[in-house]
Amino acid sequence: MNPFDEIARTSPELIDTLYQQYLNDPNSVDATWAAIFAGYDFANQPREFKKTVDHDYQTNSVSHLIHTYRDLGHMIANLDPLGTSSREHPLLDLSEFGFTESDLAQELESCAFGGTPQSTLDDLISALRDTYCHTIGVEFIGVRDKEQRQWLQEQMEPCHNRPGLDAEQQQVLLKRLIQAESFEQFIHKKYVGAKRFSLEGAEVLVPLLDAITEVVSIGGAKELVIGMPHRGRLNVLTHLLRKPYTRMLAEFEGVFFPADMLGAGDVKYHLGYSHDHVTNSGNKLHLSLCYNPSHLEIINPIVQGMVRAKQDASQDQERRQVVPVLLHGDAAFAGQGIVYETLMFSDIDGYSTGGTIHIIVNNQIGFTTNPDEYRSTPYASDLAKVIQAPVFHVNADDPEAVVQVACLAAGFRQRFCKDVFIDLICYRRYGHNELDDPTYTQPQVYSKIKQHPTITSSYGQKLVTDGVLSTSEIDNMQNEIQTELDKAYQDAKTYQPNTEMQAFGGLWAGLSAEATDWTAITRINPETITKITQALIKIPEEFTPHKRITTFLQQLEKMYTKGQSLNWAAGELLTYGSLLLEGIPVRLSGQDSARGTFSHRHAVLHDANDNNHYIPLNHISSEQASFEVLNSPLNEAGVLGFEYGFASVNPKQLIIWEAQFGDFANGAQVVVDQFIASSESKWRRGNGIVLLLPHGCEGQGPEHSSARPERYLQLCAEQNMQVVNCTTPAQFFHVLRRQVKRQFRKPLIVLSPKSLLRHPQAISSLDDFTQSDFQNVIDDIEITDKRRVKRIVLCSGKIYYALQRYREAAGRDDVALIRLEQMYPFPTEELMALCASYEAAEDVCWVQEEPRNQGAWHFVAERLASLLGETQILRYIGRPESASPASGNYNVHKKEEEDLLRSAFLMSEQRPARLSPWGMAKVLE
């Protein structure tokens, strides 16, 4: 924090009061103000330091000196293992504090830095440099919380930022470094050219994580959830999570899983693992390393969602029992927007996890890009300042300093439940991967790295010099680890992977990985509707709702109790209420989801007088589950990733992410592609998340018309997820309830409505909720004589109501309108039976409002063509191909829709037929 910012915001009267208080006792004001006043006094004094200087003046100068080292000492710390750190800075020159070299022997009349008196100025500066300018640099003065700053000072200054390891601890530390280094060197020799994203140059990451596990467990943690990129992942898997060497080496040997096992699998440096760890203090700590794709930082929000779900499930309200740890690359952390999106969760209700321990494995290079080319900040970690988190910069070649910052970071997190950062400044001994030659682009740096000693040799030599170990003892350590690796190498050649599907445990107990029966009984009884209705319309007497809310509630009451059909809002609220009464929690998040983008939901009511909140759905029964609706931060990738992570942990809760408009999901496409669509295939990980994507051409321009259904349909394969476009409130009700009623979980993409929210025809009777379940396909109930039908019109979503209106106006009973409610999994048998029931139909039309190159056409065309009889023709009716999803001119939109509707009912086509590209039927376009 810039102290002058605080001056600008403070009144002159308050500054004068503080200054008078400072003159009476410099220690009575905040250290920042003390430094400012000391500088002011100093500016009005002669620049020479005199032996007869006033006692207060010396005190002020010394206080300024201490504060400046705390603030800026990191700028001259020895942080780079390759020796490029600057060790001088003009703001830390003696002259800045009114001192000269001759004053170093000056006895200090009163100075107790770190709780220990320093006798001379030279002693004080040495203590300050040891603490803040050795191989650890700390940025914490920007933390506004006084208690947090005071705690950090108390932990760092008395010990001069050294951990004080005994001989036994030093030996364990060296052994862990040898394990990490030997593992990498072994693979490098045995599997020449194999990609492994080596940890060499940052082997100290292993003991760093060891120290974190010890400290967080002492602080009450029972589980650690870790997200990390490629680099060092194999080392962390084997040495922290104890994945057996044999199993790891078998993956290098190319052991294949049987063909009948589900999924396509993934490369070894994307895989996750879990392990029940027992710390040195005897505490049990479950460790989980999450699966992660090549979009490195995208794992950040997913870890946060997983941790939040685990904390909520275990009622960890203090958020100390489950701790997130995120590892980052320096270039990725500085460059990827998902980092900022995730940091914004840190103190937001509904998303906070009680602080994350961040570790930036700072290679000082991004693939081939130098720091001055990939960031505009002094440090890769500078984004941490946005949330006022302390940052510990540390030289990775000083393992004891690394252990110190690990203990500080873990202790800070468990004490204050806030984010904290470790900037582990290291180097990369090889290129981006082991096939890359880094000397193309960084010849000088890699010439230096080639000559640089490994950390085991340098730290081992230190322990020999200090008399902690002998050279022969270190050799024995290395030989022991080499023997273990050699044995694993031989065993890996005959390793047989476990081909049995692992039983689901924890919250997944009772569920299956196999999707056999996709149906579910989702209807409810009338008594449940009555109970929910009473809760929705009953408002506390002291609560004053907005006058329009009163009208909204009156309309709900009429729909529920007077036999009127239910609109979309009524059906949706009924969905949530019924699940809550069945003990199934509901979590709905998105931008403005509490009210609803289109002012239709009103799940949270606001008192018109004092803005207090009231959530009717949480007041149905004393034994119900909880309903949580959140107005999320204004981002997509971060929130969707968070909710995906949450749903991956808790399958027995309905988890919904709602886009403000369907196209908002564009910003979260990485989450859709890399997790929602493919995690089951790649990692055999199920998920039941629901995406509500408002969709439909309304003449409101291109941006918010389309949820891009073609993208989701293109991702559909191997029964990986569901894509629906419901046309009635009851269908929406049943598909959401179905999501948590089956014995498996699959992601659900809902092309949800906009104009249908209030469309007079988009309604459902009470019987639709109590006497039926979800229908994949809805037949045309208005056709009384199917023998008269010459054309079958297949459609999905909102366009059905426009077609229905046009047919009614035209008085046509020879065209049947069939609604495809679920596009994937494609209901082949149901559609085939329906089409066959219209024996006289000469052609089948697919009608959509989206342009031909968008929407569902390219997905359904081949599937529909295979269902037709030999004489039937499949026609496409819709807008022509377009680079934009929709017109920005309302009149153009209406003209296009009129042409589309007219074509749907025009029986005589002038355009010639052409063979389908699949050679199954004729297609007219």
Pick the range with the lowest mean pLDDT from 545-559, 613-627, 630-644.
545-559
- Mean pLDDT, range 845-871, rounded to an integer: 93
| H helix intervals, 365-523 | 371-374, 399-416, 443-451, 455-465, 471-492
Averaged confidence pLDDT in the chain: 90
Return the bridge partners of 105, or none: none
pLDDT(637) > 90: yes
Inter-axis angle of helices 399-416 and 146-156, to 10 degrees? 150
Shared domain for 333 and 411, answered yes or no, is: yes
Task: Report the run of H or E that residue 16 belongs to, with start and end.
Answer: helix 12-24
pLDDT band for 111, please (50, 70, 90 cuts): confident
Shared domain for 173 and 222, answered yes or no, is: yes
In sequence order, the 6+-apart residues with CB closer than 8 A to the CB of 389 are: 143, 346, 358, 418, 419, 420, 421
Pick the range with the lowest mean pLDDT from 64-73, 399-408, 546-555.
546-555
CA 861 to chain centre: 36
Within-domain flag for 389: yes
pLDDT band for 350, please (50, 70, 90 cuts): very high
Shared domain for 188 and 239, answered yes or no, is: yes
Q: What is the pLDDT of residue 791?
A: 95
Shared domain for 600 and 660, answered yes or no, is: yes
Most confident of 246-255, 345-354, 487-496: 345-354
Residues 904/905/907/909 CA torsion (nearest 10 deg): -40
User: Which residue, chain included where needed, has tokens 């270190």?
Assistant: 474
Shared domain for 184 and 141, answered yes or no, is: no
Taking phi over 0 as left and psi of -120 to 50 as alpha, with beta for the rest, 132 belongs to: alpha
Q: Please state the domain count of the chain.
A: 4
Task: Report the run of H or E that residue 295 belongs to, with start and end.
Answer: none
Task: Report the run of H or E that residue 630 belongs to, with start and end.
Answer: strand 627-631
Q: Are 679 and 687 in contact (CB under 8 A)?
A: yes
pLDDT(718) > 50: yes
Distance between CA atoms of residues 107 and 120, nearest Å? 4
The domain boundary residue, chosen from 87, 122, 156: 156
The domain boundary residue, chosen from 770, 798, 824: 770
Distance between CA atoms of residues 774 and 462, nearest Å? 71
Within-domain flag for 73: yes
Shared domain for 658 and 736, answered yes or no, is: yes
Shared domain for 226 and 299, answered yes or no, is: yes
User: Per-residue pLDDT tens for 687-700?
Assistant: 999 999 999 999 88
Q: Are 109 and 52 in contact (CB under 8 A)?
A: no
User: Domain containing 322 — which CATH number?
Assistant: 3.40.50.970
Within-domain flag for 74: yes
Shared domain for 294 and 348, answered yes or no, is: yes
Which of these, 195, 212, 229, 202, lies nearest to 297 by C-alpha position?
229
User: Domain containing 699 — which CATH number?
Assistant: 3.40.50.12470
User: Per-residue pLDDT tens for 432-455?
Assistant: 888 889 999 999 999 999 999 999
Within-domain flag for 587: yes
Distance between CA atoms of residues 488 and 474, nearest Å? 22
User: Per-residue pLDDT tens for 872-907?
Assistant: 889 999 999 999 999 989 999 999 999 999 999 987
Residue 127: give the domain boundaries.
3-156
Shared domain for 271 and 405, answered yes or no, is: yes
Within-domain flag for 204: yes
User: Domain containing 806 — which CATH number?
Assistant: 3.40.50.11610
Within-domain flag for 445: no
The domain boundary residue, chosen from 770, 790, 821: 770
Shared domain for 530 and 570, answered yes or no, is: yes
Within-domain flag for 64: yes
Within-domain flag for 516: no
In sequence order, the 6+-apart residues with CB closer than 8 A to the CB of 463 are: 170, 171, 174, 469, 474
Distances (CA, A) of 309 to 313, 319, 323, 453, 652: 6, 11, 12, 44, 11
Shared domain for 585 and 670, answered yes or no, is: yes
Shared domain for 147 and 176, answered yes or no, is: no
